[in-house]
Structure 1
Amino acid sequence: MRIPSFSITRPVRFARALMVCSVLAPLPAWADEDPESLDIMERQMEQLQQQQMALQKSLQAMRQQIIQHRAQMGGTAAHGGHPLAVTGSGGHVHGGWTPVEGHTPASSQMAEGEHMARPRIGGHSDPVSELGDQPTYESVVAHREEDLISHMANNNVGPHNRETVGAQSAGALGSKVFHLGPVSIILGGFFDAAALVENRQVSSGIFNYWNAIPFRNSSNFHTTNFNGDARYSRFSLMARGQLNPHLTVAGFVETDFGASAETTNPYESNSYVPRLRQAYLTLDDSRADMHFLIGQAWTMLTPDRVGIVPRQESLPETIESSILAGQTWSRQWQLRVVKDFMHHRVWTGFSIENPATIYDTTGFSSAGDNGEYALPGNSSNYAKVGSNGVGLSSNTTNYSNEIAPDIIGKVAWDPTWGHYEIEGLLHFPHDRSVINGVGENHTAIAWGAGGSMILPIIPHRLEVRLAGLAGRGIGRYGSVLLPDATLRANGAPALLSSAQTTAGVIAHPNKVIDVYGYFGMQRSGRSYFNADGGSYGYGNPNADNTGCETEGSADCTANIRSVEEFTIGAWYRFIHGQYGTVQAGTQLAYSRVHTWGGMGGAPTTSLSEIFFDFRYLPFQ
């Protein structure tokens, strides 16, 4: 049987040309200066890749026909048959849509009278019987799926530039990919050297702990402070594997040295210890547009930049490791399921996450060292809100009692201009009280709702970011860590109202400079009661604030009502190349603390800071 030559050679020639054009063609010089044109080219490349995938399927069917015909003819070519050229595309495209060095298309030809040669894919010989392992659109282009989705959504916000500080805070990976068999290894992180000068003594380094800003009764209010360290140097790694053309599994881990221990010696060795920032597993199905995550990651409440995609969280460009007053965030264990619709335009996400409750126990005396607080009335009455850690947990930290995980839902929308999202959560603070020898469990229902948006005023040059969250019993999801609850007279949780918001303007005047300005605010409500001559609860008007303005006085309850922060800063990338990026930044920050009024008034305090930072990013 003779196979018509035009049925094979023409598609093969076209496939060759298509692969060469879609993988090897260089970008025009103007592409770097015109992001919109670059996006158009990327969409055209996507269409070419889809056509390539269809051609590959046609070629596979032709090869199977040839195998069958040769089997029928005893393995020899028919008289007048034409040789078949087979071209495999082994170029891996990542991040900026650039082929990885060392991967070039390979071809093999079957001459008349010879058995069919095995097609070469990415420099490796694969038997014809394993044609299903050939590169497809997903396996060739999407090995950095978070970048691919960001480009395909095309919301004029775009994915994080991996060199920006916001991207580094989210866990940005570098652009270099290493291969260990079928597993791809991508590295990230940076070497960091930061310092600050502040007009109060807070002793928290570049982590801005607003609850510790002193009032005038403390000598720390009258003392300036300098601190510098390298403890926020960071390392991250992702291992990624392609289970099939549409299913990708990945593991991500990130660590720094931001934790302290009893052996930390700030006078000699400055021996801070490594800590876990993120560690999670993801499973992405590009056919069903489903995305799964389990492990420790940024909470799904954290505002995103595009879709609901890990490492694309919208975080400020600030140097301070506590990020920004009013920022919604937490890093914690979670099980997340996300589905996107309309070609990555609309996203829905559901997550169950590790719970925790911050209690304020103003007026309640400790009834023990293990999370027990005395209640009014009988001296044996108490409330149990948590337990000190044991085993591998910190024995100096009290872990709150929790009855169920936090439940979080989010909807995100990426039209052609901007990113928008709404979100909500449920939290279930839980404790136990013992009154007159009778124990009772108590569970409250805390809730919150909010949203965020990114407005690309000048796409890729100037953007405005807005975000907020409000509810009851959710203070821990803000950077200031205001309390979620206090206690009622019967020992049950008394939820505190909470609100937080941020607004920022970020400019990229050129490729090497980022300039930003932010305002953030977080505030808390109050709940209190008076019994047996004592004042209990948060924000009680009978709280003693009489000594807050007198240095050396201990009479200063001063429950925080709100914290505001104004900050501006800039980053300059003065070295950039194949060896990585070196950048320097500076930031000015001013924070102001307002308190609930009590006996002696409602004192305020403030903190002014200047930050400096140098970073070397070897993988970006």
Structure 2
Amino acid sequence: MKIFFKNRPLYETVTKVVHTSLNTPALAKPESERMRPFGMSPCFLAPYLRKSLFAGTVLLSGSLAGWLDRPAHADDLDLLEQQVARIQAEQHELQKALVSVQKQIAAHRTGRGHGGMQARAATGGGSGVAVAQGHATGGLHGLTGLASTQSEEEEGPGLVEPTPVRATRHGRARMVAGADVQPSFSGATDTPEVDSVIGHRAEDVISRLADNNVGPHARETVGAQAAGALGDHGVFHMGPVTLILGGFLDAAAVEENRHTATGTFQYYQDIPFANQARYHTDNFEGSARYSRISLMARGNVDTHSTISGFFEMDFGAGAATTDAYESNSYAFRLRQAYMAYDNSDLNFHFLAGQAWSMLTPGRVGITPRQESLPETIESSMLAGQTWARQLQFRFVKDFFNHRLWTGLSIENSATLYDTTGMTTSSDGQIVMPNGQLATIGSPGTGLTNNALFSNEIAPDIIGKIAWDPHWGHYEVEGILHFPHDRVSTLGHGHNNTAIAGGGGGSMVLPVIPHTMEIRLAGLVGTGIGRYGSVLLPDATLNAQGAPAPLFSAQATAGIVGHPTPKIDVYGFFGMQQAGRSYFNASGSSYGYGNPAYDNTGCMVELSTACTGNTRRVIEATVGAWYRFFKGHYGTVEGGVQLAYTQRSAWVGQGAAPDTSLSALFMDFRYLPFQ
């Protein structure tokens, strides 16, 4: 059986390539000598090889169809199978020859330096892009350097086509936007490397990661959206800077058996006891206020380092003019705003700005936008979830081929006090039983609102170690916190500083890699209650007016599954608990969780005899997301979630009251850039 080509030179070219590939002595020669007899530059040969292979495949298909239309005979079938096997072997060898040509092109461009066309190997930028994330499979197979892509409309499996390269004003090569994940080769070792990458099509900005079978957030998961993932359609190149758009339009609602007036953001300590009338009424509330907008700008500093800036905003804040009866005019608010520097030569990473706290559990390395957050619809996520978004200066170093990560983060401190039983003035002063004044903060002025801002003598210091073996992601972490106040009497005073902190960790176990995973996380210590979704207090005051850090414990466990590319399902359990610290003086009770507090009326409607300091909040929830459409126009998805939450108070006079909340969440989202 013959394969006919449309022109003789093309046929001769393919014949030479196949002959050379099958010739053992020729294969032993260096690549440059193997390709020289063709009399063509490698840059011009690659497209002909691809077209020849494609044409031969098409004509072979036609010939095979003709054979199969005839009555089958044993001899004919044997001959046909032999011909197919031979053609497949020739295609394989031709593929190897094409890869060899690609390697020569990469070496040729590298050698020409800045004086001509140069591929930006190992930079991963929007110009010379290569990607480290194996989309939807989590494998880190995308590499930098020369790119190749496969068109499913034109070519069969295994056939590749060089990605177009466009010269820039500065004489360097830039991959045309829209190329997929690409392989490359480094020098004579042919060993691929995973390097800093850019949001390009289905990928996010990630800095040199090891494959742990957990992988970075797949674009389809709502976990990626919660962590601030960027779009893959809204990628624009402006000279040396690449802009990446992200975000979504969100329409969410909740139906619950208590009136909490918090919408889809659950303020867990506001779940009413039975003494309040709203305990006995249902509530429905919906809003589009958690629609989100994000933007990243990124550029390459040199062949080993990149710099990026990330903004993320929504409308979750309530302005003075916000009303629920007419305009629903919620205010634009800042979620994240930071810059990041990554150096792939030193394996060093730096972040400065407002981002998810480094205490937040992650899923791979210690990298931004890879936080392990629950896929829940409720904006407060989950009781017991460890998180904060705040100013920080983060320093990270990775070792052993990106398997071991160490991080140090200096983060903004904000002690959350409880002053039950104490007289508090509007200017942050507490009148103590001995007549002294304890100043724990000051009301905001200028461009801040008039809420109380706590006194802080030092930032929070957070350390983390992350490990990415071949199976799973594991973290251990610790934090130091320094509550601070001043106690004064007329004419003199003194400062007080306590030392608080704690430790914990998290893990992601890929039970079925990229299909089902188990997540576990926890944090325990003193003075760190604000790092949990329930927002339990960090500290109260002792009899002398000094800060008294409260014990704190929080934990989450969950299972997340992706049974099909269109469906995400999840189930989570979370818990957060606070300790107590109290004193009694002059016949009065003070502090947090004092057993002398009156709780006799907590279960009597309209009774005011209910102090009800929260001891523990637990939550169990299940839910699912379904993607209705996904294409060049973006993604449309919907979600539903059932949640049960229980709030328990510290025991006081009468009882240790508890209450509960059942809620049904519904959400509908359009993600134009994913």
What is the count of residue pairs matched by the alignment? Answer: 553
Q: Distance in 1 between matches of 2:440 and 2:49?
A: 65
Q: Distance in 2 between matches of 1:613 and 1:430?
A: 42
Larger Cα Rg: Structure 1 or Structure 2?
2
Match of 2:217 in 1: 160
Q: Distance in 2 between matches of 1:548 and 1:466?
A: 34
2:439 aligned with 1:384: yes
> Structure 2 vs 1, CA of residues 126 and 207 (structure 1 numbering), >3 Å: closer, same or farther?
closer
How far is the alpha carbon of 1:365 from its aligned partner?
Answer: 1.1
CA contact (8 A) 2:647 2:659 kept: yes
CA contact (8 A) 1:60 1:131 kept: no
CA contact (8 A) 2:195 2:344 kept: no
Q: Of residues 236, 256, 267 in structure 1, which corresponds to 2:294? A: 236
Match of 1:92 in 2: 129
CA contact (8 A) 2:253 2:665 kept: yes
2:594 aligned with 1:540: yes
Secondary structure (helix, strand or coil) at the match of 1:142 reads coil
Q: Distance in 2 between matches of 1:513 and 1:220?
A: 36
Matches within 5 A, 1:101-112: none
2:635 aligned with 1:584: no
How far is the alpha carbon of 1:153 from its aligned partner?
Answer: 1.1
Q: Distance in 1 between matches of 2:48 and 2:659?
A: 65
The residue identity in structure 2 corresponding to 1:213 is I
The residue identity in structure 2 corresponding to 1:344 is H
The residue identity in structure 2 corresponding to 1:365 is T
CA contact (8 A) 2:117 2:173 kept: no
The one-character-per-residue Cα deviations of 1:294-333 (angstroms, maximum 9, x if unpaired) are 0000000000010011000000000000010000000000
2:464 aligned with 1:410: yes
Q: Distance in 1 between matches of 2:508 and 2:321?
A: 43
The one-character-per-residue Cα deviations of 1:180-211 (angstroms, maximum 9, x if unpaired) are 11110111100000000010010001000001
The residue identity in structure 2 corresponding to 1:156 is N
> Structure 2 vs 1, CA of residues 234 and 87 (structure 1 numbering), >3 Å: closer, same or farther?
closer
Match of 1:122 in 2: 165
Q: Of residues 211, 226, 229 in structure 2, which corresponds to 1:172? A: 229
Match of 1:35 in 2: none
CA contact (8 A) 2:207 2:344 kept: no
Q: Distance in 2 between matches of 1:342 and 1:412?
A: 12
> Structure 2 vs 1, CA of residues 435 and 583 (structure 1 numbering), >3 Å: closer, same or farther?
same
Q: Distance in 1 between matches of 2:369 and 2:558?
A: 20
Q: Distance in 2 between matches of 1:386 and 1:10?
A: 81
Q: Distance in 2 between matches of 1:123 and 1:139?
A: 24
Q: Distance in 2 between matches of 1:583 and 1:170?
A: 17
Match of 2:405 in 1: 347
Deviant stretches of 4+, over 2 Å? 5-22, 48-64, 85-100, 125-128, 130-152, 435-438
How far is the alpha carbon of 1:163 from its aligned partner?
Answer: 2.3
Q: Distance in 2 between matches of 1:19 and 1:199?
A: 66
More strand by share: 1
CA contact (8 A) 1:349 1:409 kept: yes
Q: Distance in 1 between matches of 2:49 and 2:619?
A: 51
Secondary structure (helix, strand or coil) at the match of 1:153 reads coil
Match of 1:464 in 2: 518
Q: Distance in 1 between matches of 2:495 and 2:670?
A: 52
Matches within 5 A, 1:366-385: 366=424, 368-378=425-435, 381-385=436-440
Secondary structure (helix, strand or coil) at the match of 1:476 reads helix
> Structure 2 vs 1, CA of residues 531 and 221 (structure 1 numbering), >3 Å: closer, same or farther?
same
Unaligned stretches of 5+ residues in structure 2: 1-31, 55-97, 121-126, 136-140, 150-162, 177-183, 187-192
Matches within 5 A, 1:464-613: 464-613=518-667
Q: Of residues 393, 396, 402 in structure 2, which corresponds to 1:335? A: 393
The residue identity in structure 2 corresponding to 1:229 is S
> Structure 2 vs 1, CA of residues 141 and 392 (structure 1 numbering), >3 Å: closer, same or farther?
closer
> Structure 2 vs 1, CA of residues 156 and 136 (structure 1 numbering), >3 Å: closer, same or farther?
closer
How far is the alpha carbon of 1:142 from its aligned partner?
Answer: 2.4
How far is the alpha carbon of 1:247 from its aligned partner?
Answer: 1.0
The more displaced of 402-411 and 429-438 is: 429-438
Match of 2:505 in 1: 451
The residue identity in structure 1 corresponding to 2:493 is G
Q: Distance in 1 between matches of 2:377 and 2:48?
A: 44
CA contact (8 A) 2:109 2:119 kept: no
